[in-house]
Amino acid sequence: MSLYTAAESKASLIIDADISYIRGDPLYVTGSHNAQDLQLEISIADADLQLQRSVPINSSSNEIEFSLRHLSPRLEPYLVTLKATRGDARTVYSATTQLHHLPSRTDGGSTTKLDSLFGGLLVQNSDSSTWRPLFPYSYYASWDSFANSTANVQSFKDQGYNIIHIVPDTGPVAHAFNLTQLNAFLDKCDEIGLWVMWDMRWTYKDLSLVHEQLSLLKSRKSLLLWYTGDEPDGPGDPLNATKLAYSAIKAVDPWHPVSLALNCFNFYFEEYSSGADIVLSDVYPIAVNTSWSAEYNTPCNTTYGCCGCDDCRGEMEDISVRLDAFAAYQEWLGMEPKALWGVPMAFGDAEFWTRKPTGAEEVSMTMLSLNHNAKGIVMWDWPTSAELAATTHDLSRVLVGDEIVRFVLGAHTLPLSVQGHSKIDAAGWKVGDEVLVSILSLQTPDWDDVVTVELPRGAKVVLKVVLGKGEWKLVDGHLVKKGGHGLETDLLIVELGG
């Protein structure tokens, strides 16, 4: 976990000892030591705690649990040092990280922590001492035209969305908001249990304004997380701006994560993403010309032009390509993994886009993001069309429920191999003896092929159809279907054998 509180008695570390051809220290292969385990010595500075364990070479997600009784809660993080040796003791590897064991909150504010193994959020506020997993599903919402009314906020929560991301007007907080209305909005969110994703897009580069907003919100029980840069890579904000804001926020409020959205395929990804715990990807591939800019009347290519979707082909797969790229960048850079969220488009008839997405396209964009490891969805933007509002209302009932959350936030996302059609995308999440399977058709026309989706070994029976028509049949441990509709989405729970 990204943090532990005074009330928690146990913590765990994740040890990745995978072989990489891109980064890390050399692995010397010497005879019988080819597959030798690594012997670990783990120590925590300022604490009487040393751990000794072993993990296999070329393994990952090794979880090592330990007691927190030797670590006094404090705001300053503990330095964790790992030393790993092979059987011959001649090769030594080392790594460091930080452990946050924080004091309990006494101001009534909430706490949000990130699961560093699976990427999900866990939340706790003054209403309960229990940690609750949360899959955020919502919209960016306009303050001026919607959220400044508490009645609108209640109706938004009633639609099934569990967080709200307010888009402020330009300028400092006192100019962007009527503070009486803002406090009424925050009081309403506290009252009805609607989590707040607080947006600093216009102010995050001014640290005095960052502190002003910290003072205003950090003790709210509905505060979920902070959001600093909104596409800082687009206009080319100073490369250290997001990191400076991150450090300022964490110095005052270590109890909440910090997020930002990146617009470009790869424009100083390392520098901008260093200022966040969560990176949002806003790829808008619907009804857009990716070779000629309708907005600027210029061409778009790899070096020039803006068409609204950077390095895109104008296909649904642009979303998954970008999320996969962001995950790969983190691996190549050797960064501790940051959670990824998706920002499906829910707008159109403006700028580069000739129309809004259909309801089926909205579902496909959302589920494709999940299939490629997004652990939260915040659509741009609300209010939206009546069709999209109805579609996302129905989808919210699926995605925020405990049944789906236990899979999506409780397991690694498993890409599932598909044979028979190139426009089918599938993923799964295995928890215990069950696997949640998501299968998407990414083309608009109907199709007649026989498609096979490979499942984890031992698939026995389809227990439940969560979403879709449930026309997939289990044949020899695989899901099989002949023909289907364009942009159809199926979500199934399959039982696995022993």
Domain boundaries of the chain, sorted by first residue: 4-102, 111-408, 414-496
Segment 346-360 mean pLDDT? 97
pTM of the model: 0.97
Yes or no: say if 216 and 183 are a contact pair by the CB < 8 Å rule. Answer: no
* In the predicted structure, residue 34 carries a pLDDT above the cut 60: no
Segment 377-403 mean pLDDT? 97
Averaged pLDDT of the chain: 95
Instruction: Tell me the pLDDT tens digit for each residue of 236-275.
Output: 999 999 999 999 999 999 999 999 999 999 999 999 999 9
What is the domain class of 414-496 according to CATH?
Answer: mainly beta
* In the predicted structure, residue 498 carries a pLDDT above the cut 70: no
Note the CATH number of domain 111-408.
3.20.20.80
Q: Assess whether the region 4-102 and the region 111-408 belong to the same CATH fold.
A: no
The answer regarding whether domain 4-102 maps to CATH 2.60.40.2950 reads yes
Structure tokens at 437: 């399977």
Peptide bond into 383 cis (omega under 30): yes
Mean pLDDT check: name the lowest of 73-77, 249-253, 298-302, 414-418. 298-302
Structure tokens at 117: 């193994």
pLDDT for 33: 47
> Scanning the structure block, which residue is given the tokens 């997600």?
61
Instruction: Tell me the pLDDT tens digit for each residue of 419-452.
Output: 999 999 999 999 999 999 999 999 999 999 999 9
pLDDT-based confidence at 89, cuts 50/70/90?
A: low
pLDDT for 303: 85
User: In the chain, pLDDT over 90 holds for what percent of residues?
Assistant: 88
444 alpha carbon, distance to own chain's centre:
27
Number of H helices, E strands in the chain: 10, 30
pLDDT for 136: 98
Which three-class secondary structure state does DSSP give residue 181? helix
Instruction: Tell me the pLDDT tens digit for each residue of 274-333.
Output: 999 999 999 999 999 999 999 999 999 888 899 999 999 999 999 999 999 999 999 999
